[in-house]
Amino acid sequence: MLTILGFVMIATFLVLIMMKKMSPMGALVLIPALFCVLVGKGAHLGDYVLKGVGELAPTAAMLMFAIIYFGVMIDVGLFDPIVRMILRFCKADPMRVVVGTAILAAIVSLDGDGSTTFMITVSAMVPLYRRLKMSLVVMTGVAAMANGVMNTLPWGGPTARAAAALKVDASDIFVPMIPALAAGLLFVIALSYGLGLRERKRLGVLTLDEVTAGDPEQVLVGAGSGGKGAKGGKGGKAALTGGAGSGTDAEAQSPNGSGTSDASDADDDEFKGLDPNRATLRPKLYWFNAAITIALLALMVTETMPIPVLFLLAAAVALTVNFPQMNDQKARIAAHAENVVNVSGMVFAAAVFTGVLTGTGMVEHMARWLVDGVPEGMGPQMGIVTGVLSIPLTYFMSNDGFYFGIVPILAEAGAAHGVSTLEIARASLVGQALHMSSPLVPAVYVLVGMAKVEFGDHTRFTVKWAVLTSLVVLAAGLLFGII
């Protein structure tokens, strides 16, 4: 019964958010609360929720201070050179923009943390997507898949968990998997190329001469969209027209001198682009900010201190050094408060979902049902079985639950048929491309929240491509004899 109710609960959640009948936060709280009552354990709901909140509280704290830290770094101009580099590469070609998104997300993923990857990628790419009227769902999907493949780095989480659960060396798991993971990343880039061509067909190859020509410190991204660029500002710097909202180019005049834009530009009106003349820039502190960011990432990789503590300290230092005045610090915190509240709220709402799923025993019954359903004749192929099962299980479960609860069972079953523990461990990494879009992964709420994309839309678009990416990794592992 618990198995059936578990699957029904997850299916109900996914259907409601994809059909936009409930908000993700409401669904994450109310649906598990209802099913907790249905399984007859409503009296324990409070205990399950508090346990879930306790487990995810460090993650919520990390995301809160990470958003403030990277928000401040964006404000002071640390990532402006990245945006300029992307503009030069993309040349306003939608195909190049999507491919650039995949490459940027993969490179930034080397830090091993999905939240920071998404914050940097979204901050750099959203202005370009909105300016070109491109689909933001394409951006979130591509970024999530690229990060999912790269999330298998030894310091990224899944590999370390598999190594700890099976008592093997992380390098023995990861190094042989490099060819298969490289194939998965190449597939993501190829998929990005195809999706980019589709966007190019829909939009055409646009031009941003007003943005990319002339002074390197020009306005990188306008506040609005539509219309042709016009020269404006001091020193003949370029500006884009059509922005009537709160962005830096909102005052730019349209060709008819009205300075207004169509109502269809409403979505862009509240977006503020990266203006190289914004008051928050701190060019004299650029190398200081770069140094503390590199140091922060290095400390995260080496696990010198808990990540929430690192971001807390880094955010405090960044605010104090870049904005010594109290009022300026309050203004920067207020500017990023919306993202902080949205993401932290989603994490604590997810704690209800995971707390009920785990506390009632539903997740354990679901996993054992899947494992017990493997035919006896498939025993010698437990590597393939593990790879296939990792796709749905890492989507419906946390990495901790999968690697410490399920993978040892699969390894034990494989050992009985001569399948090595290392083979099982490597196969368990296959599903990570899909895992990064799971509703149980806090980082995905950073991605969709900052991009202002509905979680249901992201799920509907991404899941099929992420599953295909995972299958490519599995197929490559079989081809190279890794699995």
DSSP code, position 238: E
pLDDT for residue 15: 86
Cβ–Cβ contacts within 10 Å for residue 296, how many?
A: 24
pLDDT of residue 271: 36
Phi, psi of 238 (to 5 degrees): -75, 150
- CA-only gyration radius of the chain, Å: 23
What pLDDT does 212 receive?
A: 44
Are 441 and 125 in contact by the 8 Å Cβ rule? The answer is: no
pLDDT of residue 229: 36
pLDDT at 390: 93
What three-state secondary structure class fits 239?
strand
What's the pTM value of the predicted model, to 2 decimals?
0.72
Report the helix count and the strand count for the chain, using DSSP H and E. Answer: 23, 2
CA 117, distance to chain mean position in Å, is 7
Q: Exposed, middle or buried: residue 329 (CB in 10 Å: 0-12, 13-18, 19+)?
A: middle
pLDDT at residue 214 in the model = 39
| The predicted structure's pLDDT at residue 208 | 54
Structure letter (DSSP) for residue 271? -
Q: Which pLDDT score, from 0 to 100, does residue 113 have? A: 75
- pLDDT beneath 70, residues of the chain: 206-276
